[in-house]
Structure 1
């Protein structure tokens, strides 16, 4: 059995596509298929259902967890053997989202530098689920993310450590009208869908945070989705143009609120609190990662 077979299977489980997984692993489709079949022969059982849409067999689901844990542990041990630490020349690999990369990471990184001295970082941005997969597979050392129902579901506390770095809010915002009032005001209605709403795509971590909060309100809000995007900045631009009401992180809308391009469009009960958190595999005990972790 070869380690690359485990990496192939984890990528296939992530993409649920033989052709896309083969492309991501930089091998031809036939060669990738042969490697998956070789892994199944080694395991002694079929791991995937070869039909559309592609899915894992019950054995495949169990083996995926074993494969990710084994690969993560081996990667962490190999890193220790190759130099005991992530040396000053080897970057700490951090996965995060585009918004946190721009609006949170630079200040946080500078504060760490003041505490620990300068060290190199390799930052990769992606959707929440992909970033969690990268951490689980040992492809990154740390995950910087918005806390959400998704992270709470996928981050097994027996495998991952988590630390809260900051508290944040989702604010309901709208462009001002001619009288200096929010163009879209939050209204409560049990039946009518009247407020144009700029929504989060399913890949955004805060979609679940917002959905959970709205579900807990005593009455349903009268929202009509007119736009959906997988970028908080894209939603911000549409909100500034008056297209609809949006919930956005305070760090994203701070400048627009200060300039008057946006106004808060609802009372305190419509604001949604959440955390910015850092996560790591418990198996990753490299010195610099632990130094960062213990400094938080």
Structure 2
């Protein structure tokens, strides 16, 4: 089976005419017909009815989706391979969360680039488990994640080494009411406050749960919304659906412009870290160069 046969069939399905399709494919009508026939023999089923206009058989309609997807995938793969072949510089592959990719990575990357010079990067984002698996599978050179002493215990330090790049605060917030005051307040009273919670896939769920469990007086909360996206929880908090604990970097603009207010006392704020991980014993020159540069200004974990 030849790729050109698939392209012929897709064109025939588009034009519904052997003569027009042959013309568009820059072949003679008889040669085009032979190629369609050869494709049908390879598939083992008649794909079109030789009527005017041409119609697809049931098998032809099913095969059209497969042919179109196959052609798209093959050309995309070829383009990617060409780009890789033309890329002389190595690419540093980072795996991180969507929020860190937005709030922390850009400024941090600019600082590293000033120290080390230009180097290309590739960012892939996902949930905590997803990005850790990318590092473990060798699909990423470095992992940038939220961390805490508890979450670091889950990483095998015989296999990975890490650095603390920055500290962050998880702060409880509420949207304002019509008077510009926080709509909700946190207390340990009988009436629970509506709460916008983290899904289990988010690293900060465990960080927050551990912190709240250690408080002498815990706020009364009623979960009304749960999401695996900090940005989704941020939007619901701005809409006034409930209280939320969110990373300070993420909501800095909302706080300064009054869309959210920090509530509760300092005991309700949670300190955690932003950490960088890599596999131990890396022999990649670019990975080691960047790691050594970062190590000079970071905290060893």
Distance 1:150 1:142, change over 3 A: farther
CA distance in 1, matches of 2:175, 2:98: 24
Structure 2: any 5+ residue segments left out of the alignment? Answer: 1-86, 295-301
CA distance in 1, matches of 2:231, 2:191: 25
CA distance in 2, matches of 1:88, 1:225: 51
Secondary structure, aligned partner of 2:173: strand
* Count, aligned residues: 208
- Cα deviation for residue 149 of structure 1 reads 6.1
Question: Retained in 2: the 8 A contact 1:196–1:244?
Answer: yes
Secondary structure, aligned partner of 1:100: helix
CA displacement 1:140-161 (0-9 Å, x = unmatched)? 1100000046742331111111
- Cα deviation for residue 167 of structure 1 reads 0.5
- Cα deviation for residue 90 of structure 1 reads 2.0
In the other structure, the counterpart of 1:167 is 167
In the other structure, the counterpart of 1:152 is 152
Question: Retained in 2: the 8 A contact 1:148–1:208?
Answer: no
CA distance in 2, matches of 1:140, 1:282: 13
In the other structure, the counterpart of 1:125 is 125
In the other structure, the counterpart of 1:267 is 265
In the other structure, the counterpart of 1:202 is 200
CA distance in 2, matches of 1:220, 1:173: 16
CA displacement 1:189-214 (0-9 Å, x = unmatched)? 4xx45100000011111111101100
What stretches of structure 1 move > 3 A for 4+ residues in a row?
Answer: 148-151
Instruction: Give 1:1-296 correspondences, 5 Å limit.
Output: 89-148=89-148, 151-189=151-189, 192=190, 194-296=192-294
Q: How does the TM-score come out when normalised to structure 2?
A: 0.67
- Cα deviation for residue 285 of structure 1 reads 2.8
- Cα deviation for residue 88 of structure 1 reads 6.0
CA distance in 2, matches of 1:147, 1:193: 32
How well do the aligned residues superpose, as a CA RMSD in angstroms? 1.5
In the other structure, the counterpart of 2:60 is none
Structure 1: any 5+ residue segments left out of the alignment? Answer: 1-86
